[in-house]
Amino acid sequence: MNNLNDNFPSDYVDLTDKIDQTKQGNDFYNPNVLINLGPSHPAMHGTLRVMCRVNGETIEDAKCEIGYLHRAIEKLGEVKTYHQWIVYTDRLNYCSALNNNVAYVMAVENVMNITVTERCMWIRVICMELARIIDHIICVAINALDMGAMTVFWLFYHWREEAYTMIESMCGMRLTTSYARIGGMMYDFPDDLIPRLKKFVENFPKAIDEIEGLLTSNRIWIDRTKGVGKLSAAEAIKYGLTGPCLRASGVNVDLRRDRPYYTYSELDFDVVVASGGDVYDRYLVRMEEIRQSVRILKQCILRLPNGPLWVDDKRVRIPDKIDVYTKMEVLIHHFKIFMEGINVPPGEAYTCVEGPNGELGFYIVSRGGPKAWRMRVKSPSFMLFQHFEKSILKEKIPDAVSILGSVNVIAGELDR
Amino acid sequence: MVKEIQNKANEILQNTFASERKFSLDKVGEPILWANGPKDALHLIKKFQDHIDLKIDFLSDLTAYDNTDKKDGEGRFVVVIQLLSMQTFIRIRLKVLLKANEEMETLTNIWPAANWLEREVFDMYGIIFAGHPNLKRILMDERFHGHPLRKEYPYKQREPFSDNTKINLSNSTRGSSSHE
């Protein structure tokens, strides 16, 4: 026995006798039960893993483990050409792929000092706002679904499908869009898109009203969400949170207004701020942001200008297919862009947009040539999930599920 | 308007901090300031926080890149700290050049947000952050060898784990379980 004790620290107390007494039968009163949620658990969105120590139903200690969806996207950014890497941006936050596409090509354009055309800017703003609507729909609907409200999910997903059908008509893909190109877009909008978008912005707000009627003053919803996962403004800033979660805590920050890019400075919209920082406030912020996005879309429809889609820059302009098939010089140019890649001059830039979950940034260091020297993705989910393990302490397990739904951590963006 | 505030901040940086440090602007006019070593980086961040016009209070991102081609000077890695102010909305990029085995100072005492970011930099580049509370791999497996974002790491290298490899969980388990 003495030999065994040598392995333990001096203050270690041998409790063997006591444990044996309580282990008559099963130990139902153990205050230190370890529970493992995920990485493959229906309540954990994607491959997230949380290890909890629970006392009864209260989480007393929690740790997150990530990396289950790590696909070396940053390393691939140094191996693939700038053009080839566009498809990898779809796989970051796959709920709002359009937003990632646009943010990425904007980053490359910034390193190359390219300003895209007016029409291209407006198209990109429409894309980003549509992506924001879809992402918020998913967040609210799944959050409600996790707490047992199935109807919200069905009502909302009808409109998500509608939005995805519009996206499909833009670029031929529903989920992994790859719509943006360096210096322009893959295609221009199809002719029927604007009438469809008009119908969408007319009818969709009715669905928002309906869902707010189901949830906002619903006693069960309020009991499950109010005061759960409370987060103060100072703590949110210290932990680097961005986006709706930061605004729900009362910090009045929105990069669309505070560091405007594209045409956001000309658009009329409100930054939604709540004060409580709990799950309920995050829900309210997201619902109001959907309305504001609809408001932006309405203005975009009215103001979308005609004109060229592509920037007139030989370095990046992908030639039209009809010219590729008929003119030799254009064919050579086309070949050079796709086989060699776009030559980006040495330099660096950090470009970020207000994504649906917060600040999505691309930091590109170029040493010249068609491939990046360093391709860094600053993902909002990384910070949100880092704080998650703090925010569930002293909460119940079902509350942890509702907090996770409200921060909307996307595994693809988290692990990259 | 943001452009003007940013330009003013750039001027402040150039006049106040750039006398014995490298200073430049990037492609979008945001400032890059090179700290003279890890200690100086912490010192600069404190200065930025207290500065009346800069009011830096937010850690946007912390990352690194490999400097094997020595284009940024004699040093193996460059640690990049992206700072933002939530009041004035200016950005400052702070860079620290590290030698091959030099340690970086942790920022977790200033922003807890730096915790996972520093773990990721350690995971991907092997840079040690002195004073970090829990410096271990985050995206890669505990059993993984090497640091994948270093330029010498081949991108097609495979590292399969046999099911029999023991995972060292001594740091990650807590409470009673470690005494079992």
Enumerate the residues of chain A whose CB falls inside 8 A of the CB of residue B65: 365, 373-374, 376
How many angstroms away from the CA of B89 is the closest CA of chain A? 7
The answer to whether residue B17 scores a pLDDT higher than 90 is no
pLDDT tens for B85-142 read 888 888 999 999 998 888 898 989 899 999 999 999 999 998 999 888 888 888 888 8
How many angstroms away from the CA of B132 is the closest CA of chain A? 15
ipTM of this model?
0.86
In the structure, what pLDDT confidence band is assigned to residue A24 with cuts at 50, 70 and 90?
low
- From the list B89, B113, B177, the residue facing A238 with the nearest CB is B113
Contact A216, A202 (CB under 8 A): no
What CATH homologous superfamily does B2-156 map to?
A: NADH:ubiquinone oxidoreductase Nqo5 subunit (3.30.460.80)
Q: Sign of torsion, CA A89 A92 A96 A99?
A: negative
Enumerate the residues of chain B whose CB falls inside 8 A of the CB of residue A35: none
Q: Where in chain A is the domain with CATH 1.10.645.10?
A: 75-415
User: If you average pLDDT over every residue of chain A, what do you get?
Assistant: 87
Instruction: Summarize the confidence of residues A69-98 as an average pLDDT.
Output: 90
Predicted confidence at residue A4, as pLDDT, reads 47
Predicted confidence at residue B55, as pLDDT, reads 86
Mutate to test the interface with A, among B5, B32, B56, B61 (most CBs of A within 10 A): B61
The answer to whether residue A103 scores a pLDDT higher than 90 is yes
* Contact: A72, B71; criterion CB under 8 Å: no
Predicted confidence at residue B179, as pLDDT, reads 33
In the structure, what pLDDT confidence band is assigned to residue A410 with cuts at 50, 70 and 90?
confident
How many angstroms away from the CA of B20 is the closest CA of chain A? 23
Mutate to test the interface with A, among B7, B77, B109, B116 (most CBs of A within 10 A): B116
Enumerate the residues of chain A whose CB falls inside 8 A of the CB of residue B140: 67, 70
Question: What is the fold, at CATH topology level, of the domain defined by A75-415?
Answer: Cytochrome-c3 Hydrogenase; chain B (1.10.645)
pLDDT tens for B37-82 read 888 888 889 988 888 888 888 999 999 999 888 888 888 899 999 9
In the structure, what pLDDT confidence band is assigned to residue B6 with cuts at 50, 70 and 90?
confident
Q: What are phi and psi of A370, to 5 degrees?
A: -85, -5
Q: In chain A, what percentage of residues exceed pLDDT 70?
A: 93
Q: How many residues does chain B have?
A: 180
* Contact: A110, B148; criterion CB under 8 Å: no
CA triplet A366, A186, A411: central angle to 5 degrees? Answer: 65
Contact A310, A120 (CB under 8 A): yes
- From the list A113, A237, A240, the residue facing B27 with the nearest CB is A113
* Contact: A237, B175; criterion CB under 8 Å: no
> What is d(CA A366, CA A77) in angstroms, rounded to the nearest whole number?
11
Instruction: Summarize the confidence of residues A386-400 as an average pLDDT.
Output: 88
> What is d(CA A141, CA A89) in angstroms, rounded to the nearest whole number?
24
How many angstroms away from the CA of B140 is the closest CA of chain A? 6
The answer to whether residue A400 scores a pLDDT higher than 50 is yes
Reduced to 3 states (helix: H, G, I; strand: E, B; else coil), residue A323 is helix
* Contact: A382, B117; criterion CB under 8 Å: yes
pLDDT tens for A239-252 read 989 999 999 999 99
Reduced to 3 states (helix: H, G, I; strand: E, B; else coil), residue A197 is helix
* Contact: A78, B155; criterion CB under 8 Å: yes
CB count within 10 Å of CB A341 equals: 17
In the structure, what pLDDT confidence band is assigned to residue A313 with cuts at 50, 70 and 90?
confident
Predicted confidence at residue B178, as pLDDT, reads 32
Assigned token pair, A34? 């370890």
Long-range contacts made by residues A273-277, C-beta under 8 angstroms, separation at least 24?
A273/A247, A273/A248, A274/A247, A274/A248, A274/A249, A274/A250, A275/A249, A275/A250, A276/A226, A276/A227, A276/A230, A276/A248, A276/A249, A276/A250, A277/A229, A277/A230, A277/A231, A277/A232, A277/A233, A277/A236, A277/A245, A277/A248, A277/A249, A277/A250
* Contact: B26, A350; criterion CB under 8 Å: yes
- From the list A67, A238, A382, the residue facing B140 with the nearest CB is A67
Higher pLDDT among residues B161 and A193, named by residue? A193
Higher pLDDT among residues B169 and A146, named by residue? A146
Strand residues in A182-339 grouped as ranges (E): 184-185
Predicted confidence at residue B154, as pLDDT, reads 86
The residue ranges of every structural domain in chain B are 2-156
Predicted confidence at residue B176, as pLDDT, reads 33
> What is d(CA A15, CA A267) in angstroms, rounded to the nearest whole number?
68
